[in-house]
A = this chain, B = another copy of it.
Amino acid sequence: MIKVNEYYNGKVKSLGNILDGVPFTVGIIEPGEYTFSTEKEEHMNITYGEMEVKLPGEENFKKFKAGEKFIIPPKKSFTVKIEKPVSYVCEYK
């Protein structure tokens, strides 16, 4: 069963499933600035385009492009700044 998720009035959408016991989502984010909170540790892999990310505890945004990844610890929040549509795969560990 592939779950469809929608956030921020549909400017962020994702599809969710499970592979080998690990929940994952694939999503697209449209231009804008968004803050997300984690429950588990999240491994964010950029798969198309690029985004700027302010990681927990950081003061500045850092750019991540397709093929790059970042990890957010559980129970933290992070902010992304998007100029053009970008896609990701996120693993929840």
Residues in A lying within 8 Å of B, measured CB to CB? 1-2, 4, 10-11, 13-20, 24, 26-28, 30, 45, 47-49, 84-87, 89, 91
B-chain residues with CB within 8 Å of residue A14 when the two chains form the complex: 15
B-chain residues with CB within 8 Å of residue A89 when the two chains form the complex: 47-48, 87
Number of copies: 2
Q: Is the CB of A26 within 8 A of B27?
A: yes
B-chain residues with CB within 8 Å of residue A11 when the two chains form the complex: 2
- Tell me if A's interface is mostly helix, strand, loop or mixed: strand
Q: Is the CB of A24 within 8 A of B2?
A: no
CA distance A4 to B16 in the complex (A): 13
CA distance A11 to B45 in the complex (A): 23
Q: Is the CB of A10 within 8 A of B19?
A: no
From B16, B19, B85, B91, A18 is in contact (CB under 8 Å) with B85
Selected A-B contacts with CB under 8 Å, 27 pairs: A1-B10, A2-B11, A2-B30, A2-B85, A4-B4, A4-B13, A15-B15, A15-B26, A15-B28, A15-B87, A17-B28, A17-B30, A17-B85, A18-B85, A19-B48, A19-B49, A19-B85, A20-B84, A24-B48, A26-B26, A26-B47, A26-B87, A45-B48, A47-B47, A47-B89, A48-B91, A87-B89
